Amino acid sequence: MFWLAIRNLFQERTKLLITIGGVAFSVLLIVMLNGLYQGWNTMMGSYAASIEADLWVEQKGVGDMYHTLSFLPDDLEARLEQTPGVKNAFPYLGRSVLFTLNDKEVTLFIVGLNPTTGVGKPTMEKGTWQTLSAGEIIIDAAFARNNDVMVGDTLSIAERDFRVAGISNGGNLVTSQYAFIHFDDAKTLFQLGNKVNFYIVQLAAGASAATTEQAILDRFSDTNVLTKNEFVQKAKSVIQDTFLPIIFILDLIALLVGIAVIGLTTYSATIEKAREYGVMKAIGFNNRQLLTLVFYQALIAGLIGYAVGVALAFPIGIAGEQYASAFLTNIRPFDLAWVFGLTALMVLVAAYIPVRRISRIDPAEVFKN
Amino acid sequence: MALLVIDKLSKSYGTGHTKVEAVKNVSLRVVAGEIILIMGPSGSGKTTLLTIAGGLLKPTSGHVYIEGTCTTRLTEKELPHLRLTKLGFVFQSFNLLGALTAQENVALPLIATGMARAQALAKAKQSLEKFGLSNRLHHLPSALSGGEKQRVSTARAIVNDPAIIFADEPTANLDSKIGHEVMEMLCAIACREQRAVVIVSHDQRLEEIAHRVIEFEDGEIKSERAGKHGKTCQHTR
């Protein structure tokens, strides 16, 4: 039956190309949307995941680090280090800053970096963070590319000039990027006074995260303590909460487009070949065999469309990122697997109507000329 | 033994004033090696009779027996298997599948039985060679002449070794020379292979190969006479 399905499909090459194109488009759309979602999701959390922290301490009741400000007293560091289970506590400064560059408004998430401890350090593409001095800034490669900024250029942020001392990577937050200035500069720029934003806690050897977390909460009631994983998930939450429902709807639309394309082309091919199916019935093919034939035809077209869609997704993802830095895709094998399952579903649903039509074909009709 | 027995067969469509009786109380017996020609004007019900006898249509009343099996009592799921194993069909418009080569078209009934493709193709090749089409195995129907198409259609009809061949206007679309070749072919199938052949046609030339000629009109058998088979057949001499 499989070879017969292939013969039938390739007899109508234009129709086959339309079917494959429709499925490929549908698969491409689903893979790219989910690739973008995963890319953004990963990117939002990747910097936080790179920081050597066991626990994050933040002000009680704040949301994610990119959209709400956490304020904690700067004298908490010493008290935290006296808490059982805590080896080190480091103050962490970071907030989004909007400023004008080349006559347009841009946003950076600026981190105050202490070059002595290196806590919250960036991954460098050009230059080093260890020599970061006052009045200097390390910007993300995506920001540099988007705004045509190079090492040695000057950025004016909140009426202060910062010389670009290095380029980092892995800090693209889609709508903004990470930048790193000296810890003391950050404290002045953010006008924090005797406050800091977060504390990063490293545990003593053998200490339990849960016990230490509880110990901190018991001592400092105005704080909230997150494990590293919880903090990363919180950083990602903005993408998950905002984009996931949109992506779900777009995926659904793409799925329906795919079903419609395979369904319509398979159905019209079935109508055109109704007489041939009638002949096969008259010869002695049973309904089950003919239904298998139609299903195979839809399946083959679906699989080729899937392969083409997936094959196109990778170069389009790479080209897209070159064109727009926000076009960050992360196409995971797991996503390809479930999109494959979705394609199979597409095929099953699309084959249903032609299959019903075939089961109703009267073989006696083939004697009418 | 009669391969085909049609017993008091009737078929009607509609009810009341719109009721049409396509076949009325028809009985017929066909034995192995026999060629029956059913003739009659268009709309006389001869094709309806053929489709009922071929297990493609249910009668309103009466029965059809093929090799002793009452086919009118078979379910819709059982009938395809009967057609596949006991019956062969030759159509007026050949009805070959356009995407398949001549060899693949002939292999189709074997594939339907579940035979492996390679084995089915090998058997189809042998069958086509018998019909003088060894040089047309890989041709699509669009590349075959009318006579070649009908030979492929006939090869397909007998490849599963059926007991009865039903042929609907087998010479209608063919010129006289090719038509004669097809007649010879059907005659050989009946005489050499001892199959029953039931032909429905307007073509009076077919009387030459028929053992019996049945005149059909208004759904009924109007007359029956002997054909010219005995005088013309080359296969039994």
Summarised one tens digit per residue, pLDDT across range A44-98 is 888 888 889 999 999 988 877 777 788 999 889 999 999 999 999 999 999 999 9
Residue found under tokens 């009426």: A159
Q: How confident is the model at residue A255 (pLDDT cuts 50, 70, 90)?
A: confident
Per-residue pLDDT of B19-29, as tens digits, reads 888 889 989 99
Sort strands A55-59 and A223-227 into parallel, antiparallel or unpaired: antiparallel
What pLDDT is attached to residue A167?
96
Among A90-99, A242-251, B172-181, B188-197, top mean pLDDT goes to A90-99
Count of residues in chain A: 369
Q: What is the CA radius of gyration of chain B?
A: 18
Residue that has been written with the tokens 């429902």 in this structure: A245
| pLDDT of res. A341 | 92
Using the predicted structure, report yes or no on whether residue A308 has a pLDDT greater than 80.
yes
**Are the beta carbons of A120 and A92 closer than 8 angstroms?**
yes
Instruction: Answer yes or no: is pLDDT of B12 > 60.
Output: yes
Mind telling me how many Å the CA of B178 is from chain A's nearest CA? Answer: 20
Q: Say how many C-beta atoms besides its own lie within 10 A of residue B28's C-beta.
A: 20
- Asked casually if ipTM beats, i.e. exceeds, 0.95, the reply is no
The values of phi and psi at residue A130, to 5°, are: -65, -25
B236: pLDDT confidence band, cut at 50, 70 and 90? low
Q: What is the rounded average pLDDT for all residues in chain A? A: 88
- Give the pLDDT of residue B185: 82
The residue to which tokens 């990119």 are assigned:
A66
Element (H, E) at A145: helix A141-147
Interface test with A, best of B90, B95, B153 (most A CBs within 10 A): B95
Residue of B nearest to A288 (CA): B77
Q: What is the pLDDT of residues B111-125, one digit of tens each?
A: 999 899 999 999 999
Go through chain B and tell me how many residues it has. Answer: 237
The residue-averaged pLDDT of A196-222 equals 92
Look at A92 and B172; give whichever has higher pLDDT.
A92
Specify whether the backbone of A278 is left (phi greater than 0), alpha (psi in -120 to 50) or beta: alpha
pLDDT recorded at residue A227: 92
DSSP A53-111: -SEEEEETT---TTTS---EETTHHHHHHTSTTEEEEEEEEEEEEEEEETTEEEEEEEE
Nearest to B61 by CA among B87, B25, B35: B25
Instruction: Pick the residue of B13, B49, B50, B51 with the most A CBs within 10 A to test the interface with A by mutation.
Output: B51
CA gap B225, B237 in Å, rounded: 22
Q: In what order do the strands lie in the sheet with B212-217?
A: B87-90, B164-168, B196-201, B35-39, B212-217, B220-226
Please name the residue that has the structure tokens 């994050």. Answer: A56
Tell me: pLDDT of A233 over 90: no
- For residues A283-303, average pLDDT: 88
Q: What pLDDT is recorded for position A369?
A: 63
Interface of B with A in 18-47 (CB under 8 A): 47
Q: How much is the pLDDT for B133?
A: 85
B139, B102 Cβ separation under 8 angstroms: yes
Question: Is there a contact between B51 and A286 if contact means CB atoms under 8 Å apart?
Answer: no
Are the C-beta atoms of residues B145 and B177 closer than 8 Å to each other?
no
Give B136 to chain A, closest Cα distance, Å.
Answer: 18
Residue B72 touches chain A, beta carbons under 8 Å: no
Most confident of A6-15, A166-175, A204-213, B204-213: A204-213
pLDDT higher than threshold 60 for residue A267: yes
Q: What is the largest CA-CA distance in chain A?
A: 96
DSSP state, A204? P
